[in-house]
Amino acid sequence: MKELIKQEVIRYVSENNSNYSNEIQTPYYDEPLVQFASATDELFSQYKEIIASEHLTPQEVFNIAYAGESSSPQTVISIVLPISEKIRSSNRSQKEWASDEWTLLRTFGDDHFIDGLTEHLSRFLNKKGYKTVNPTTLKAFKKYGNEKGPLSNWSQRHIAFAAGLGTFSINDGFITEKGIAIRLTSLVTEAVIEPDKRKAEDHTANCLYLSKGSCKACFKRCPVGAITEKGHDKIVCWQRCYGEESQLRAKAIGGNPEAGSGCGLCQTNIPCEFSNPMASSN
């Protein structure tokens, strides 16, 4: 079942027409990475303390989706979608705002394509007799903020960490074997699949700065100084990526204003853009 799911995700990403921009003349995403975590992994309960008490566990996701039924999730599927080279390269030379290509990705890649992928995989598993839920489609899913900045009650980065797909960066991005310029999605299913092991010794092991005190490339790339030795100022970052001017920039080129233009400068033209820098530095 593990390989079957992986191959189905890879097939969908490579063949589905929604993963191609006629305007940019490139796919939005390259071949994905897919890994699995046990739905009963104690890390999911720990996230209520690490992230927020509202953060959902896989069992809570199933309790909401299948209220009144005695259903138990067994596996969490996490998917890494590496942003394609042409879109990444368009953003490398930017100094103040995201490139048009990166901005269009936010509307047509992030929302449209990823939603289609998770819906397809959910149907794929349902047809095989396994109840499956995309937590971000539940009415209980929410994005909100606290004194530290924006967050959600189903963090794709933390789900990916649980599945052993990578670790966190000083800029709060997620560094995988295919780098930090990625998107993430996930599903919870009752299919029993052997979980992948977390190989990282630390939750920031792939970040050159946090592991070795070197790099600081993303510090220099941030146009609003939101990344420093103290960490990542999520509020300043959010205002830049999704504020009024960002929304106007997205609208001006045919994107969804609500999605904003994003930024991604701290994910491009840096050592961890498309690979794990610690893999070559050890």
Which residue, among 140, 138, 150, has the nearest Cα to 236 in the 3D structure? 150
CB burial string 22-52: b at 16+ within 10 A, e below: eebebbbbbebbbbbbbbbbeebeebeeebe
Are the C-beta atoms of 95 and 248 separated by less than 8 Å? no
**Measured distance CA(62)–CA(66) in Å, rounded:** 6
Q: Which pLDDT belongs to residue 225?
A: 97
Looking at residues 208-232, what average pLDDT do you find?
96
pLDDT at position 149, please? 84
| pLDDT of residue 146 exceeding 70 | yes
User: Tokens 């941030």 label which residue?
Assistant: 222
Domain boundaries of the chain, sorted by first residue: 2-277
Provide the pLDDT confidence category of residue 28 given band limits of 50, 70 and 90.
Answer: very high
What pLDDT, on a 0 to 100 scale, did the predictor assign at position 222?
A: 98
Q: Are 37 and 162 in contact (CB under 8 A)?
A: yes
Interval 131-145 mean pLDDT: 94
Q: How confident is the model at residue 231 (pLDDT cuts 50, 70, 90)?
A: very high
Residues 183-215: tens digit of each pLDDT: 999 999 999 999 999 999 899 999 999 999 999
Please compute the mean of the pLDDT values over residues 18-25 and round it to a whole number.
Answer: 94
Reported as a pLDDT band with limits 50, 70 and 90, residue 46 is: very high
Taking residue 276's Cβ as centre, other Cβ atoms within 10 Å add up to 23
Q: How confident is the model at residue 279 (pLDDT cuts 50, 70, 90)?
A: confident
Average of pLDDT values for 51-70? 94
Task: Report the distance separating Cα 224 and Cα 173, nearest Å.
Answer: 17
Query: Tokens representing 210?
Result: 């946090």
pLDDT in tens, 238-269: 999 999 999 999 999 999 999 999 999 999 99
pLDDT above 70 covers a percentage of the chain that reads 99
Determine the average pLDDT of the residues in 56-62.
Answer: 98
Average pLDDT in the chain: 95
State the pLDDT confidence band at 166, using cuts at 50, 70 and 90: very high
- Mean pLDDT for the stretch of residues 172-184: 98
- Read off the pTM: 0.96
pLDDT for 282 beyond 70: no
Over residues 77-106, the pLDDT tens digits come to: 999 999 999 999 999 999 999 999 999 999
Q: Contact 138/61 with Cβ under 8 angstroms?
A: yes
What's the pLDDT at 281? 62
Give the pLDDT mean for 49-57: 95
